[in-house]
Amino acid sequence: MLSSVLRFVRLPLLLVTIWATVRFILGVAGVPYAPRGNAMFSLYSVMMLSCLYFGALSKNIAGFKWGGTILTGVTIGVYSQILILLATVISYAGGLNTSYFVHWDALNVDPATLTPPVSMADALLHPEQVAMPPMSQALVGRVLGILINGAIAGVFAVIGRALSGLAPKPAQ
C-alpha cells in the first residue's frame, strides 16, 4: 500500500520540495519574512491543497479505499513537515538566518518569551531586531508539527475524498 501511495503522490512531493528549496533560497538571500515574503512560497498552503486534490483523486484515479486516502494525506503532510524540520536544522547548524524557517512567527513563538523579550507590536514593526528562538525550542515545535500537521493533512485528504464526486473520472 505504501509503495502505491508513494507512486501516486510523486507530483505533490516534488512540488513541496521545490517550494521548500525556493523558500530556503529566499531566506538565505535575505528576502524578509514579512510582510509579503511568507505568502510567496507557503509550504503549508501547497501541502494542504495537494492533500485536498490528491485525496479527491485517490478513489477515482488510484483506486484507493479510505485507508489509502488517509495514507495519501499523511504521506504528503509528514514529508512536508520533515523538509521544514531539515531546513530549520540546516539554518541553525549553518548559522543562516533563513527567516522563513527560524523566524519567531514561523515557529509560533511569542516574542515576549525571547531573550531579550520583545512586545508583539515591536516585533511586528521591527522584525529584524528580534532574536531567533533557541534551537531547542524550534526543534520541539518542528517535531510536534510533524505529528500534528501530518494528522491534519490526513483529514484534508479525507475532505478531498468526500468531494471526489467533483473530481474527473478516468477515461473508459
- Asked whether 118 and 112 are in contact (CB, 8 A), the reply is yes
Task: For residue 130, name the pLDDT band (cuts at 50, 70, 90).
Answer: low
E strand or H helix that includes residue 171: none
pLDDT beyond 70 at 166: yes
What's the pLDDT at 26? 86
What's the pLDDT at 35? 66
What's the pLDDT at 18? 95
What does the alpha-carbon distance between residue 126 and residue 128 come to, in Å, rounded to a whole number?
6
pLDDT beyond 80 at 115: no
| Rounded mean pLDDT, 109-126 | 72
Per-residue pLDDT of 31-44, as tens digits, reads: 877 766 667 778 99
Residue 32 CA from chain centroid, whole number? 18
- Asked whether 159 and 109 are in contact (CB, 8 A), the reply is no
What does the alpha-carbon distance between residue 65 and residue 128 come to, in Å, rounded to a whole number?
49
pLDDT beyond 70 at 51: yes
Distances (CA, A) of 46 to 30, 37, 40, 61, 93: 22, 15, 11, 20, 26
Task: For residue 126, name the pLDDT band (cuts at 50, 70, 90).
Answer: low
Task: For residue 82, name the pLDDT band (cuts at 50, 70, 90).
Answer: very high
pLDDT beyond 90 at 139: yes
Mean pLDDT, the chain, rounded, equals 87
Percent of the chain with pLDDT strictly greater than 70: 90
User: Between 114 and 87, whose confidence is greater?
Assistant: 87
